[in-house]
Structure 1
């Protein structure tokens, strides 16, 4: 039995590849195992390469794994593309008609006629994935009753005939494996501790975090890979008295958010890069009018329409600067599925407390990632609210009052004595249009002073992850979903005798200056791995802290791999004479 097992299921979109992986995840979650997944699929509804990788462990993990222990291939194309990622002593389960290379490097191979069993014996090719599940049930010693339970949950509503059909497919896959395959490999499903674990995607965690924070108004337009947020909220937000509205486009969505928030409701939208581009002008309005809002951007390969179903972390500049003029906003970036819950909930607290837009950056890999979450991590109630005024009847209300505080009280619509102007034009304290230099300077300072206050707010403390050797001269700074491979790479390097430490800021505007300055004061080299071409975070760090950085960028539509980062660590160590590169082979 292996305490840590990485499986990959690969095939064609429409073959039920994701269903196989998700079923394995549900079984593992019920067993109390820790899970991290990565899935990739084509932009087409049917056809094209599709893959889900599932890492199961008895211990807490932060990355979906690199090379795999167990590979399942449903066709020849999947085999040809994924076989190089199978470990030398791994296991291959594939369609019987697949041609294998002569060199197997000690791998165990199981060949099963999935197509024949599905089409000839069962009479339905679409049941092929259930046949695969039955086969895996035998080979990995999966709890068969659990699989039957999940199949019942999935198909019972479609009628007895459909349910019986799929149960038959499961049984035939199991029987074939039992009669013909035996057990030739050492792998079994890891043993869990039966701890209760929740299983959710990053998008679901975002939606749940928003709901737990008191958000009750969602406006959005469907766009990959963010649509699942709106889909989840459409089902669940009305249960707590909330409203979900699908608008005609992204501009309508963000303007609706502005209106609902101005009226006093916690409001949000979700989108991807193309939608965030369209929202830029209204983000400026939110900043100028000091209206709270939360915008989630699930990034994908760009620019333009780009690669809708592939991952990239390339919207940082857009999130930081996307609006004309000097428009204030907070930018945050969770690193894991539990983080998606926590950071989204915190985003609402910051938006409400400081009356400004907050952009939460995730990416396709994190949005679609299935991960186990301990129930205690998602218990949350709002901890900050909007500062509301108590206007005097004998004096005009100064909505944008200048004073010691950068946050001025707001009078919600209908508040007696709280009449004021709200506009996208520069304004005086009462909201009246003003374009003199003194007013514009004072109001700009007021709006930007909020960012300095946020940096020192206890709400934002603990928004940095630190790991590695605190005495190391090599440092790594990264962000978003790249935190997982960075953490694994740091562990590998330290085990090789190369001291490395890393810091992952989860708030990117304002940057956590105190933590970053302390970090840069300890290291001699700074590596910045990120999923974009120009090195956006590296550029931000250089311009802010006047430090040299070593870039490591990738735009292949898939996450960074720990070995890619370790290679850069070793190259950097050579310049510091930390150690020789001759032992690096063990890292892969």
Structure 2
């Protein structure tokens, strides 16, 4: 172990945990992030993982920053290196005087370590041996041992980390006990061998620091938003990184989407492919349900033809696209914002969709309701572009405010309303906003029925190849797009009169850019 005399830093650190996929490290990393959150600290956790089930390198970055910046940095203060194949590169990411915690069981030559960092070799095999007779369980508990070591070195109070574990595994007392014992083993080793008082990176409780805030990932926030928005139908085909949107939604729906007799009032269907899922979604939207599907770039491409049907036949539906790196299969477990143009014009012909761009989990929650309100008000497809960074990583955001505003179902004519109109023309622009009136299947009135078609049609929904009628219909759809511009959330604009350069950004890039702006506007030399 090398001890360097450096200045102590409080409540400002970046920790990178390097392991392999499938090793169980996600739980221990989550325990550390949640413990820091409960201390009131601005913290974020970001997972960089491979596109496989187990065995390839994975990294989890935890950043504490007094300004609330939690984006990834190129250099780290602490690295926990549990993967021999990446250890050399992992220590390269350390700042000078940074701290490397590694598995001494790996028998790594001293010559491979940098001389300007602190190195802590930990005998993990020895520490976990008394904790379980199961080799498999000892493998998983190794992660909690390093969490215990880190928590002791940086001064996370034991009672906080214990409460996090208890809450995480509350219905599994044996799991709670084994994980707490692993935490204790790590903390005890650090106390006896690593001289925690001299460790240069410390955290301390910030009273009221995270009051009225929550720690949540974007996909979970989306699922809550879908529930609040009145979504009752979801069809999907599993694809990274959007799968957990529907998985979480199903968990919430099982609990809250029931009638007074305890029967389910929702339908969630895992389709055979993305084509089926979008067609089911459009069909459900046609019947009057608030219907959606979740996907990523490759799935969005497959949905193009059906998206055109939703646009041209004017059927409300929502696609939640959690973007990843493309083109083609690309990098399924990396983030990208590459679907904007394809989403806006998804399908062939003169097709233009409403696209919403959340920048954090709170906006994911809020825009779920916005998406359905717009879809039904405008009678069209609405596409929401989240991304992997927002969807699968943990953010601190303000506690969600549940709106009491009535859901906007749009222009729907029921039986009584049909009695008052002389004629029902499905695609007629009665109000001058480009939006016609619709009826729902099953409306018991002789005027209610109409043909829903993706072929050319006139304002009464009858088949037509007349060029004047087709042009009139397309011009009405463009007028509806202009109406949409008055309804979508307004952009947030920050004006600096002395600035010579403007920056346009959206989505998860906001996190890095806000920090960059702060750097450019201050004299600080380090992040």
TM range (shorter): 0.7 to 0.9
Q: Which of these residues, 457, 481, 487, is aligned with residue 427 of structure 1?
A: 457
SS of match in other structure, 1:475 = coil
CA distance in 1, matches of 2:253, 2:12: 37
The residue that corresponds to 1:187 in the other structure is: 201
8 Å CA contact 2:226–2:249 kept in 1: the answer is no
Q: In structure 2, which of residues 25, 28, 41 is the aligned counterpart of residue 33 of structure 1?
A: 41
Closer, same or farther in 2 for the Cα pair 1:320/1:468, shift >3 Å? Answer: same
Do structure 1's residue 109 and structure 2's residue 113 form an aligned pair? no
* Structure 2 residue 260 is the aligned partner of structure 1 residue 236: no
The residue correspondences of 1:276-355 to structure 2 (distance < 5 A) are 276-355=300-379
- TM-fit CA distance, 1:302: 1.8
Q: Which of 126, 133, 146 lines up with 2:160 in the alignment?
A: 146
Consecutive unaligned residues of structure 1, counting only runs of 5 or more, are 498-585
RMSD value, Cα? 2.4
Q: 2:190 aligns with which of 177, 180, 186?
A: 177
The 2-side partners of 1:440 and 1:337 are apart by 41
1:456–1:155 CA distance, 2 compared to 1 (3 A): closer
SS in 2 for 1:139: helix
Distance 1:50-1:77 versus aligned 2 partners, 3 A rule? same
Check conservation: 1:91, 1:109, Cα contact below 8 A.
yes
1:472 corresponds to: 499
User: Cα–Cα, structure 1 residues 92 and 469, in superposed 2: closer, same or farther, change >3 Å?
Assistant: farther
Alpha-carbon shift at residue 393 of structure 1 (Å): 7.3
Asked if the contact 1:299/1:313 (under 8 Å) is kept, the reply is: yes
1:225 to 235, 241, 245: 241
The residue number in structure 2 matching 1:450 is 480
Q: What is aligned with 2:381?
A: 357
Give the match's secondary structure for 1:29: helix
User: 1:245 is matched with which residue?
Assistant: 269
Query: 1:38/1:148 Cα in 2 relative to 1: closer, same or farther (>3 Å)?
Result: same
Is structure 2 residue 208 aligned with structure 1 residue 208? no
Contact kept in structure 1, 2:433 and 2:483, CA below 8 Å: no
Q: 1:344, CA displacement in angstroms?
A: 2.8
Query: Could you list the per-position Cα deviations for residues 183-225 of structure 1 after superposition, in whole angstroms to 9, with x for gaps in the alignment?
Result: 2223222423341432211111111122222222111111111
Decide whether the 8 Å contact of 1:118 with 1:169 is kept in 2.
Answer: yes
Q: How does the TM-score come out when normalised to structure 2? A: 0.88
Q: Does 1:53 align with 2:61?
A: yes
Partner SS, residue 89 of structure 2: helix
Which residue does 2:489 correspond to in 1? 460
Distance 1:33 1:345 in 2: 30
Following the alignment from structure 1 to structure 2, what is the Cα–Cα distance between the partners of residues 376 and 453?
28
Change (3 A) 1:139 1:237: same
TM-fit CA distance, 1:349? 1.7
SS in 2 for 1:465: coil
Runs of 5+ consecutive residues of structure 2 not aligned to the other structure = 1-8, 258-264
Deviations, residues 61-96 of structure 1 (Å, cap 9, x unaligned): 363444222221113334322222222233222222
Matches of 1:145 and 1:166, distance apart in 2? 14
1:418 is paired with a residue of what secondary structure? coil
> Residues 5 and 55 of structure 1 are in contact (CA less than 8 Å); yes or no, is this contact kept in structure 2?
yes
TM-score (norm 1): 0.79
Q: Deviations over 1:234-259 (max 9, x none)?
A: 11123234332222221111111111
- Alpha-carbon distance in structure 2 between the residues aligned to 1:422 and 1:134: 62
The structure 1 residue matched to 2:438, chosen from 402, 410, 428, is 410
How many angstroms does 1:121 deviate by? 6.1
Aligned counterpart in structure 2 of residue 256 of structure 1, from 258, 276, 280: 280
**Map of 1:88 onto structure 2:** 96
1:513-533 CA distance string (max 9 Å, x none): xxxxxxxxxxxxxxxxxxxxx
Cα distance in 2 between the residues matched to 1:380 and 1:53: 38
Residue matched to 1:570:
none
Query: Do the aligned residues in 2 keep the contact of 1:12 with 1:78 (CA within 8 Å)?
Result: no
Shift of 1:261: 1.0
Using the TM superposition, name which of 277-286 and 3-12 deviates more: 3-12
How far does the alpha carbon of each residue in 1:313-369 deviate from its partner, in whole angstroms, 9 at most, with x for none? 222232122211112311122122222222332222211111111111122222111
Alignment of 1:502-513 (within 5 A): none
Please state whether the residue corresponding to 1:392 is helix, strand or coil.
helix
Matched, 1:164 2:177: yes
Equivalent residue pairs, number: 495
* Counterpart for residue 436 of structure 1: 466
Deviations 1:99-152 (A, max 9, x none): 5545433x3332211233224764422211011111122111112123223333
Classify 1:164/1:383 alpha carbon distance in 2 versus 1 (closer, same or farther; 3 Å): closer
Tell me what 2:260 maps to: none
In 1: Cα distance, 2:403 partner to 2:33 partner: 23
Deviation at 1:158, TM superposition (A): 4.5
Q: Distance in 1 between matches of 2:411 and 2:78?
A: 55
Alignment match, 1:545: none
Give the secondary structure class of the aligned counterpart of 2:303: helix
* Secondary structure in structure 1 of the residue aligned to 2:419: coil
In the alignment, structure 1 residue 388 sits paired with structure 2 residue 395: no
Cα pair 2:131 2:181 within 8 Å, conserved: no
TM-superposed deviation, 1:231: 0.5
Query: Is this contact kept in 2: 1:496–1:587, CA < 8 A?
Result: no
Do the aligned partners of residues 62 and 330 (structure 1) sit closer, same or farther apart at CA in structure 2, a change above 3 Å counting?
A: farther
1:128 aligned to which of 142, 147, 150: 142
Q: Find the aligned partners of 2:237 and 2:20 in 1 and give their Cα distance.
A: 28
CA shift, 1:386, in A, is 1.5
- Structure 1 stretch 313-322 or stretch 444-453: which is displaced more? 313-322
Alpha-carbon spacing, 1:394–1:331, altered in 2? closer, same or farther (3 Å): closer
Matched, 1:22 2:20: no
Q: Is the Cα contact below 8 Å between 2:77 and 2:95 reproduced in 1? A: yes
When residues 120 and 78 of structure 1 are mapped into structure 2, their CA distance, relative to the original with a 3 A threshold, is farther
